[in-house]
Chains A and B, each alone.
Chain A
């Protein structure tokens, strides 16, 4: 099966804010491999290196050493992002544009012909239930609506790989359910989904494989069912164990 996302000995260092501390290693020797058609969960506590890894894959940050590939193309090449869709955790879009204008703008960047872009925009706005608000500027949208616009723009180019950073963050239960439905639908269509989340219950339900990262290092990777069987615990307990959480003893 085709490898869609691959990192090889990926290392990312940043200069520490306090000059006395030298460099901070955000990602240390990370080797990941995500295959076509998988729903892959990327887990870790805050500051573990999840967002940094995603930043490298998306070309926002350059790796200090190692390499990262999307569809076999080095992530530093813009063409690597032709077939991906990305939904950031904090969704902010051009507030003076309407949802329709925003999607048209991104469609134009992908080089999607006008007629096809119109068709997709109609389809996506229906999917994310923003048809009635399509002509309103985004600054008038609620957080949930902005999140849905974000999802629509991530899908405008009919991506083969969807990268989602905390896709259900800030959503109500109905919103979360809809996101799960969309992820399931994409999986059924053979798309690959790579997402980070703190909602372990959700990850357990939706993901084929997961990786848990802590302090920049990959701690565990594998199918959810296999991990649960191996550790004889649910995903939450596995996660807490890996990050070294010790429950307080009762007096």
Chain B
């Protein structure tokens, strides 16, 4: 556990010493503040569009951080040869996988806290109302979803040739699931066999990341998701994280690391 935490600490240090996060945060903040300062028909009480834009930017930034940070972890270790002095220590490859995963996931969590704090301040200043529990729940669900994404990208980093191809493919897959995952069963029903079976199979196989996107509940001031449902969704995500991490370990342990 100590080793895993030590590895994750290095990943987090890397995140806050690189410029990526700051650039994304500043971009999010600037766009949100600029859009928030625009007056539509001289009505200062319009708030939802700011929420919508801010939450969209938070989601995009978080995905960029998650995929970008994770995609380069293991390839960078190999390219920079830092993997050799690391594995020469009493560290298993499984611990390296877990450490990288924990680091990237925690880094996403820290990024989300900062982004949601900003969102809360901006929104609260307009609405004069802070549904803290709703924000916390939305942040938790998003963080859990990012855990699945991080595990998936980590597996991809061991399969695909380069970090850029891994990042591109991961972005496409994740966005595809977020936008279309909910509707694959409808698409399946419209197809002839055997395509219908294939699409339906895919529908049951993919991790349904769209469940964790509760932006609409925040934007339209809906109530909280039931805590039992929240818990079950967390468990579902944990299972997928475990599957992807296990896959990553199985691939990594067979990889020869020639100097």
Residues of A with Cβ closer than 8 Å to B? 14, 51-52, 55, 58-62, 78-82, 84, 86, 88-90, 92-97, 101, 105-106, 108-111, 137, 150, 153-154, 157, 163, 165
Contacts and interface: CB of A to CB of B under 8 A. Distances in A.
Interface stretch (B78-86, B199-207, B213-221): B78-86
Given A55-B258, A105-B10, A81 B81 contact: no
**Interface bracket on B:** 20 to 34
B254 to A, nearest CB: 8
Contacts, number: 86
B127 interface: no
B13 A82 contact: no
Given A61-B256, A78-B90, A105-B10, 16 more contacts: A14-B256, A78-B92, A82-B90, A86-B88, A88-B85, A89-B259, A92-B80, A93-B82, A93-B85, A95-B80, A97-B13, A106-B85, A108-B3, A109-B90, A110-B90, A163-B88
B81 A106 contact: no
B84 A88 contact: yes
B84 A60 contact: yes
Contacts of B5: 108
B89 interface: yes
Interface string B88-126: 111110000000000000000000000000000000000
Contacts of A109: 2-3, 6, 89-91
Contact of A84 (B80, B84, B88, B258): B88
A94 B90 CA distance: 18
Contacts of A96: 13-14, 17-18
Contacts of A79: 90
Interface of B: 2-3, 5-6, 9-10, 13-14, 17-18, 80-82, 84-85, 87-92, 256-259
Contacts of A90: 81, 259
A124 to B, nearest CB: 14
Contact of A81 (B13, B14, B90, B257): B90
Contacts of A86: 84-85, 88
Contact of B6 (A59, A88, A95, A105): A105
Given A61-B256, A92-B82, A110 B89 contact: yes
